[in-house]
Chains A and B, each alone.
Chain A
Amino acid sequence: MRNLSLVKPASQLKEEQRHIEEILLESVGIGFFRGSVAEISGGPSSGKASLTLSIIAKLTAVGEICAVVDSAGGFDPPSAVLAGVKLENLLWVNCAGDIEKAFTAADHLVQAKGFGAIWLNLNRLPASKLKLVPKTYWYRYRTRVKDTPTLVIATADEPVTGSASQSAFVFSRERTEWSGSGRFKLLREFHIAMHSSKQFYGRPIPARLKADYRHV
């Protein structure tokens, strides 16, 4: 019983976790707190990469330095440019499918302190392999970025961060819009829904992602 004084109430823990600065994505109506771990999970073509690029675009535009830990090596710089990312402010770490190296790379980056956002892209990596990664990694990241301006964003096909993340969203694609008819069609829009895993009774937030065919 005497050790109970060391136990902090949930409200206090929540307050401690909360960093004063929030990165708001006005276009879709969600925000992420700096100094925390955020997670975006979802199936194929659910907009995980698109939303993450929007966050990175917002930060790199004001001169912040961000990093992409590209676990599977699928990062597409032209998409990033179209999303508004300033490539000169972005560090790209290509891990070519090596999960262990991806987590170690993210660890080096969170230790550097000062990055605006670190995107740990685990998309399309097999869930069976990701489950082998010790959960302590995520708590380590959370501790490392606490009280720093860094936002760690993990994207994966399935939720991976557990309670280490302060905000976690599950994305799903509601429908896809195509323009044109017959043989002459063009991909136009994804309608996605964003469910917060941290608020069980919250309604899903709808968002639309548009295709951009400009040449970069």
Chain B
Amino acid sequence: MTQRRDFLKTSAGVAAGTAVAAPAVWTPSARAQTWDNEPEKGASLRVLRWSRFVQGDIDQYMANVKKFTDKYGIEVRVDNESWEDVRPKAAVAANVGSGPDIILSTNDDANLYPDKLLDVTDLCEYLGAKYGGWYPVCEAFLRPDGKKWIGVPLGASGNIIVYRKSHLQAAGFEEFPKDTDTFLKMMKAIKEKGTPGGFALGNATGDCGWTYWIVWAFGGKLVDKDNKVVINSPETIKALEYMQELYPTFVPGTLAWLDPNNNKAFLDGQVSVTNNGISIYYAAKNSNDPKLKAMAEDIHHSALPIGPVGEPTEWHLFFNQMIFKYTKYPKAAKEFLRFMMEEEQFGEWMKASFGYVAHPLRAFEKNPVWTDDPKATAYRDCVKNMRPAGYAGSLGYASAGAAADFIVPNMVAEAASGARSPKEAAERAQKRAERYYKI
């Protein structure tokens, strides 16, 4: 956690368990560790995962599962639940000590019950060494003490800018703005042209993630490294003042927006700029409606603009893979995750997911999914550019609770809509967050 901004550690550093950031030079395969694991005889596995956002994902995932079963003779039952329902189910499984052997969940779930999870350090070190290392944020989520891995990162569903190129061009912008100042000018310009943008400000669990981006972009953050709440800061207030200028450029009704609203409004042509996964483009491209097909041509993606802090400050939906200690077949479970993460399987799965899931391991940057359709390229660096909602503190009950209570999204919505002044909104967020981080 403390080395978040440092460059990735080498596998040697990882293996030695040192907490010192190693040089930025990466030497692949030379240090690749060997994998030695014999699944238990007669093992069978149950996997609970979030249900697909794009059909290709689950089709390829199940094809990979079948390959695993054919190779090892281990039956794997895969259950799907909407991603928000996985969280309570995983928590209950952890609580009662029985349930699926492996759960694919989201965000800081693993940090809620690290003691109930199987240590997968050997597996993560093996994968990290073989595939160019994990992006730093993976360690923030799944290697909380800097030593032991409590889960295997799966990647993240990127949530970046989706925009209509022709509408931007009509307003005099050839490219999507790279910084927040130009972004504001652009949003004002497209509003004047009658093709406004819109970002969710309701209690949307996924699509309100952009509110973290804007706070971080100006240097605000919920907590510091020592989990001290510092959201009420001049930086946060600057971000909220920026929001006061940005909000009037939005299409009306964004305060009520939940996760699906921006998809619907965008595909209906009512919104020209929003934040989303690749699903909007995917839906338009694969539609039989000629109007939507034409729109797909016009849809482009861009990373979120960079603010005064000068580095990407994105939030994305992070995916983890947890093996629970209660499993009867820990070795089979590890073997399953290893198998699914190997290039032959993971690479195919990424391709089939159409860029919906950004990889956690550097080597997959070269996966053709990011170049076959140039429009997917913008989603490539999502895991690289992201931070957890509990940035810059350590993750756990406090960060999960504060995120689930929409403290930051509420603060941004309050200031944007004028329900509270930036100062009041930041003070209120500070008080609410302090209750979670118990000062």
Real complex partners, A and B? no
B-binding residues in A (CB < 8 A): none
